[in-house]
Structure 1
Amino acid sequence: MSNHLLSSFPVLLIFLFSPTNLAQSPAQAPAVPVAPTVPVTPAVPVTPMVQAAPTPSGSPPNITAILEKAGHFITFIRLLKSTQTDTLIRNQLKADSSNGLTVFAASDNAFGNLSTGALNSYSDEQKAQLAKFHLISSVLSITDFQTVTNPIATEAGPSIPMNVTESGNQLNITTGTVNTTVTGTVYTDNRLAVYQVDRVLLPLYFFSTPAPAPGPVPSKPKKKAPAPTGLSGDASVSLSGAVRVIQRQLGVVSFGGISCCRTSFVCLS
């Protein structure tokens, strides 16, 4: 009996410590599936020429608000305000009979390219004309410039025109002193079109020096009559202020106020 127990003891030990009877470890949580990486699309850079939102119907477009929203037009806005051109634009856009306006807005970079102190050197009248020279008295789209007649009159007056030509959706502008192109559209609707230019549109007459007015023509000095040189046979001679003797090829002798002819010795008093 004891021998039988001893012989079965190893078998019991093997049974107790077999892998099937050992305590199983807790089951591991299933791995959370990782979502596939979605490629991030880089943001599209915003170009400087973002068109401002259209103005609500019935309200005239506000040129300064449009330029402020677009940015980089600080100097041009200051020029419009100091010359009251912004008020002119607002009043014209309010008018029922207005044909609209086209504005060539010079960027801050354009004014920075002017010679130092150039803008401040202009008189108030010149600054006002400079601001108005950037305005055309009708609203024109890019394609409208295909049919315009050059030179185009500006708000500065018909005597200060410019030429604008369209070539492949590009507007070329020349003023006689400045050649530039439109670099983008800032704003457009049925009453107002605003285009950016990177050169200040300087009118030709700013650089034209008028010829001085002709002065009075100096009068030539009058020639004095030659003084009598003496007595001659062919001259009329006055003697003593009373008697005039005309004698060809004869001499005359005067004695104390009495004139005598040498040939006849006849004395005349």
Structure 2
Amino acid sequence: MELPVVFVVLLVLFSSEAYAQSAPSLSLTPTPAPAPAPDFVNLTALLSVAGPFHTFLGLLESTKVIETFQDQANNTEEGITLFVPKDGAFTALKKPSLSNLTADQLKSLVLFHALPHYYSLADFRNLSDMSPVATMAGGQFTLNFTDVSGTAHLTSGWSDTKVSSAVHSTDPVAVYQVDKVLLPEAIFGTDIPPTAAPAPAPEIAPAADAPEAADSAASSPGSSADNSSSHRIVSWGPLVLAISGGLVLLL
């Protein structure tokens, strides 16, 4: 028995509608691509070619703080800001000496040179209002920041220095060069020796006054010769008068 044509048409329509409802809808909006991961920054390689920062890099490696910094730089959302003294800053450091520090103190000293957050050069203006700022050494190891004509200055009690250049500054890693080693009061105490005052300028002797110069000229050998000549001229005067008088009497 053949099905009526109308029944077949209805069956096809209902089947098409059911498939349309069950089929997944296709979106025409493209899915945004995931944000690229930040580039991995190898701090050892960076400090090896910049600077020279060999002394500071040696301290990072001997205390194993380089591993802490590397993890903070590449495995946290906060990032890191690192202040690195050049080799000359360690050479110029006479007192206090770093040679008497314990292993823990030396580690804290190195951690004192980093902030657990990425800061661009422009961000240092805000840090002046947030001072003191905690470093990665924690506890009382804090730094004070001031902005002087757009240049960031750092104060740790024993050290007063500034950011002299940017070695690397791309979120999440910032590495800045500083002129001095940062020395924390938490290690070296608060008995900070006063800064030596600048040497006074040498005094300039005043020029001789005119009357004194005249007196000196009068007492010079040349002046004495002139005075003796005038005395000789005056001593001939009475003799000439006597001869003239004698001639008048003879006449």
Q: TM-score, normalised by structure 1?
A: 0.54
Q: 2:114 aligns with which of 135, 139, 157?
A: 135
Q: Deviation digits for residues 210-269 of structure 1, max 9, x if unmatched?
A: 9xxxxxxxxxxxxxxxxxxxxxxxxxxxxxxxxxxxxxxxxxxxxxxxxxxxxxxxxxxx
Match of 1:112 among 88, 91, 100: 91
2:140 aligned with 1:187, yes or no? no
Sort the Cα spacing of 1:197 and 1:209 in 2 relative to 1 into closer, same or farther, 3 A: closer
Distance in 2, matches of 1:57 and 1:165, equals 33
Which residue of 2 is the match for residue 99 of structure 1? 78
Identify if the C-alpha distance between structure 1 residues 117 and 140 changes in structure 2 by more than 3 Å, giving closer, same or farther.
Answer: closer
Aligned match of 1:245: none
Rounded Cα–Cα distance in structure 1 between residues aligned with 2:56 and 2:125: 27
Return the alpha-carbon distance in structure 1 between the equivalents of residues 150 and 190 of structure 2: 36
Is contact 1:142–1:166 with CA below 8 Å preserved after alignment? Answer: no
Aligned with 1:61 (options 29, 32, 41): 41
Q: Does 1:82 align with 2:69?
A: no
Greater fraction helix: 2
Query: Residues 140 and 117 from structure 1, CA distance in 2 versus in 1: closer, same or farther, beyond 3 angstroms?
Result: closer
Once residues 72 and 58 of structure 1 are traced to their aligned partners in structure 2, the CA distance between those partners, rounded to angstroms, is 26
Paired residue secondary structure (2:175): strand
Structure 1 or 2: more strand by fraction = 1
The separation in 2 between residues aligned to 1:158 and 1:146, in whole angstroms, is 23
Q: Residues of 1 paired with 2:56 and 2:148: CA distance? A: 27
Match of 2:247 in 1: none
CA distance in 2, matches of 1:140, 1:128: 23
User: For the residues of structure 2 that align with 1:173 and 1:136, how far apart are their CA atoms?
Assistant: 12
Deviation at 1:122, TM superposition (A): 0.9
- Which residue matches 1:153? 134
Contact 1:143 1:166 in 2 (8 A): no
Which residue of structure 1 aligns with residue 249 of structure 2? none
Q: 2-side partners of 1:102 and 1:139: how far apart?
A: 5
- Do 2:74 and 2:172's aligned partners in 1 also have CA atoms closer than 8 Å? no
User: In 1, Cα distance between the equivalents of 2:125 and 2:78?
Assistant: 18
* Cα distance change, pair 98–118 in 1 and its aligned pair in 2 (3 A): same
Please say if residues 157 and 190 of structure 2, whose CA atoms lie closer than 8 Å, have aligned partners that are also in contact. no
Deviation at 1:98, TM superposition (A): 2.7
Task: Return closer, same or farther for 1:184/1:208 CA change in 2, 3 Å cut-off.
Answer: same
Question: Alpha-carbon deviation of 1:194?
Answer: 0.6
Give 1:116 shift: 7.4
Aligned pairs for 1:171-182 within 5 A? 171-182=152-163
Aligned pair 1:169/2:136, yes or no?
no
Q: Give unmatched runs, 5+ long, in structure 1.
A: 1-55, 211-269
Q: String of CA shifts for 1:11-54, please: whole Å, max 9, x gaps.
A: xxxxxxxxxxxxxxxxxxxxxxxxxxxxxxxxxxxxxxxxxxxx
Structure 1 segment 12-91 matched on structure 2, within 5 A:
58-91=38-71
Question: Which residue does 1:24 correspond to in 2?
Answer: none
Equivalent position of 2:123 in the other structure? 144
Residues 155/73 of structure 1: CA separation in 2 closer, same or farther (3 Å cut): same
3-state SS, counterpart of residue 119 of structure 1: coil
Find the residue that maps to 2:45 and give its secondary structure. Answer: helix
Tell me, what secondary structure is at the counterpart of 1:147? Answer: helix
Structure whose alpha-carbon radius of gyration is higher: 1
